[in-house]
Amino acid sequence: MTSAVDNIDEILSTIRGADHRVTTAKRTVVEVLVGANEHMTAEAITVAVQRRRPEVSPSTVYRILEEFEELGIVVHAHLSQAAAVYHLAGAIHGHLTCDICKVTFEIPSSHFDALSKDLLTTFGFQLDRHHVALTGTCQKCREALSATTHNT
Ligand SMILES: [Zn+2]
Ligand SMILES: [Zn+2]
Ligand SMILES: [Zn+2]
Q: Enumerate the CATH 3.30.1490.190 domain ranges in the chain, comma separated.
A: 93-151
Could you name the CATH architecture of 8-90? Orthogonal Bundle (1.10)
Q: Enumerate the CATH 1.10.10.10 domain ranges in the chain, comma separated.
A: 8-90
Check whether 1 has a pLDDT greater than 80.
no
Cα separation, 47 vs 44, in Å, equals: 5
Cα-to-centroid distance, 85 and ligand 1 (Å) = 9
Cα-to-centroid distance, 128 and ligand 2 (Å) = 13
Q: Which class does domain 93-151 fall in?
A: alpha beta
Please count the other Cβ atoms lying within 10 Å of the Cβ belonging to residue 139.
Answer: 9
Rounded to two decimals, what is the model's pTM? 0.78
Q: Are 60 and 19 in contact (CB under 8 A)?
A: no
Q: In what order do the strands lie in the sheet with 94-98?
A: 104-107, 94-98, 134-136
Question: Given the DSSP bridges, would you call strands 74-77 and 85-88 parallel, antiparallel or unpaired?
Answer: antiparallel
The tens digit of pLDDT for each residue in 64-78 reads 999 999 999 999 999
